Structure 1
């Protein structure tokens, strides 16, 4: 496994009708948020409270260089989630993040876990 790794767990959605689909999507998002809180509590017991990182700056809208891109897994995360909870691992050199995201309205919400190099996300 490389230094930058992603795990995904999809929420359940998918009933007939637009209203039913929205309701199901909101329910799936709530379920994943509950899972996120539970997993955050377990990791906080081990490594302390996480930092909350806003992901919009990694979209590159404020960067004058149109070719610049956020390093992975930030490049992916900033396109599917607005924030993530981050722990800088005590072993040094890496961070672990959790987020709930959705790639597009027709895709399911996902609980995401990512590990990246510390240099890609300075403290």
Structure 2
């Protein structure tokens, strides 16, 4: 899988992203941790960067970041609509409690730990495939870094009702 660069969003792009998501759900989870230009993963998870904006080092007024966020939001909304038609309404998962827990030294499962460091919330569909869930979010490591449209697959246990942050 490769990172899709910024550009126009079309129905062909939507189909490409849906195909990548289907592939994420179908492939085995990695045996060892990895982190490369396409995403990251490990024995219980995988995160794929579906689309990334440019960096914002010279975006003093924030205009480029706002435009990029709007573009990624349109992509995210189209994906949510398509996946909702397939699987029903997603859960909205507040990632802030997981970020706080991690900062307090508590164990936070992956990919929730990674996503909580990049995004405030995600849309998630539990039980997609054998013992897995799918999550979508827009994240950013820092204000100068690219915004990223992320798709994450994890073990079902990561979204059990007893976990804080589920809404």
Structure 1: unaligned runs, 5 residues or longer? none
- The answer for the alignment partner of 1:12 in structure 2 is 54
- The answer for the alignment partner of 1:48 in structure 2 is 88
Task: Report deviation, 1:120.
Answer: 1.5
- Native 8 Å contact 1:55 1:83 kept in 2: yes
- The answer for the alignment partner of 1:95 in structure 2 is 133
- Native 8 Å contact 1:59 1:69 kept in 2: no
Task: Report deviation, 1:69.
Answer: 2.5
Inter-CA distance 76–15: structure 2 relative to 1 (3 Å threshold):
closer
CA distance in 1, matches of 2:87, 2:148: 23
Q: CA RMSD in A?
A: 2.1
1:119 aligns with 2:130: no
Higher relative contact order (CA 8 A, sep 6+): 1
- The answer for the alignment partner of 2:6 in structure 1 is none
- Native 8 Å contact 1:15 1:24 kept in 2: no
- TM-score when normalising by structure 1: 0.86
CA distance in 2, matches of 1:59, 1:70: 8
1:85 aligns with 2:123: yes
Aligned residues: 119
- The answer for the alignment partner of 1:72 in structure 2 is 110
- Native 8 Å contact 1:58 1:75 kept in 2: yes
- TM-score when normalising by structure 2: 0.64
Task: Report deviation, 1:89.
Answer: 2.6
Task: Report deviation, 1:60.
Answer: 3.5
